């Protein structure tokens, strides 16, 4: 069965998985499934928060490819590293960036991931052109390293733009003619996450059965179609 591995490429693009083709698929996935949808959400009434929620996923995700490692059980660390690569010019010295990134991880990333909504202290405005305006406590007039992030005002358009600019720069490094460490780490991440060269996931029906839209009696008990709300949802 022919299937798409990204919006514009079928599985044939990765047979065999040449580096150039893998990068093309990677760009197609990230750009068409994340960055462009986030940009379109910026144009939808009340869509700015959803745009930031979608773009926030890029921060930890891109660090997987930048480091060549999996972020499993290291989500906060990867978010911090990714944040510093994307927003370094916004946050100041390294120790400040670490502290701010950890605060954003809890309030923004974990808010969307676990609560379905940003947490208290996150605000949105287009008044300031910068991606983020950050409030942090001071001690004797200086940044207090023992303090906690108090508030962040996010300009959604600038936030998404920073994500896109970083992605464009990253792609240029991946496509550089001269081999580099960025390419090597990317290859390592692809080997971990993409499972290229291995059999694909098992789907319990033939191609003809799938396109018929009807579950054959011999496999119906093994598969479940979810097409109606649960009884609890109906009751509401």
Tell me the pTM: 0.86
Q: Are strands 138-139 and 9-10 parallel, antiparallel or unpaired?
A: unpaired
- Identify whether 208 is part of a domain: no
Q: Would you give the DSSP letter of residue 196?
A: T
Residue 205 in any domain: the answer is: no
CA distances from 127 to 101, 154, 157 (A): 23, 10, 11
Please report the pLDDT score of residue 108 as a whole number. 94
Flag whether 11 is in a domain: yes
**Residue 204 falls inside a structural domain:** no
The tens digit of pLDDT for each residue in 58-78 reads: 999 999 999 999 999 999 999
The domain containing residue 169 runs over which residues?
4-193
Q: Is residue 120 part of a domain?
A: yes
Would you say residue 211 lies in a domain?
no
Task: Classify 155 as helix, strand or coil.
Answer: coil
The answer to whether position 234 is within a domain reads: no
Going by pLDDT thresholds of 50, 70 and 90, the confidence category of residue 86 is: very high
Mean pLDDT computed over 84-108: 82
Q: How far apart are the C-alpha atoms of 114 and 236, rounded to whole Å?
A: 23
Residue 129 lies inside a defined structural domain of this protein: yes
Give the residue carrying structure tokens 């579950």.
215
Please give the tally of structural domains in the chain.
1
Q: What's the DSSP call for residue 145?
A: T
pLDDT tens digits, 168-210: 999 999 999 999 999 999 999 999 999 887 766 667 777 787 7
CB 133 within 8 A of CB 153: yes
| Joined tokens for residue 16 | 């065999």
């Amino acid at each position: 069965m022919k299937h798409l591995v990204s919006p514009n490429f079928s599985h044939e693009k990765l047979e065999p998985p040449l580096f150039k083709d893998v990068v093309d698929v990677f760009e197609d996935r990230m750009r068409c499934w994340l960055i462009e949808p986030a940009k379109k959400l910026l144009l939808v009434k009340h869509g700015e928060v959803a745009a930031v929620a979608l773009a926030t996923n890029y921060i930890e995700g891109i660090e997987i490819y930048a480091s060549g490692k999996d972020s499993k059980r290291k989500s906060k660390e990867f978010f911090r590293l990714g944040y510093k690569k994307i927003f370094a010019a916004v946050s100041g010295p390294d120790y400040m960036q670490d502290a701010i990134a950890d605060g954003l991880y809890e309030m923004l990333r974990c808010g969307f991931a676990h609560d379905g909504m940003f947490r208290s202290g996150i605000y949105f405005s287009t008044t300031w052109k910068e991606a983020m305006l950050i409030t942090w406590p001071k001690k004797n007039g200086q940044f207090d390293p023992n303090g906690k992030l108090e508030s962040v005002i996010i300009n959604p358009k600038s936030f998404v733009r920073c994500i896109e600019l970083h992605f464009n720069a990253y792609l240029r490094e991946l496509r550089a003619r001269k081999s580099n460490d960025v390419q090597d780490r990317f290859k390592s991440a692809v080997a971990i996450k993409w499972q290229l060269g291995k059999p694909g996931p098992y789907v319990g029906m033939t191609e003809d059965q799938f396109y018929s839209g009807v579950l054959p009696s011999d496999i119906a008990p093994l598969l479940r179609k979810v097409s109606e709300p649960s009884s609890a949802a109906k009751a509401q």
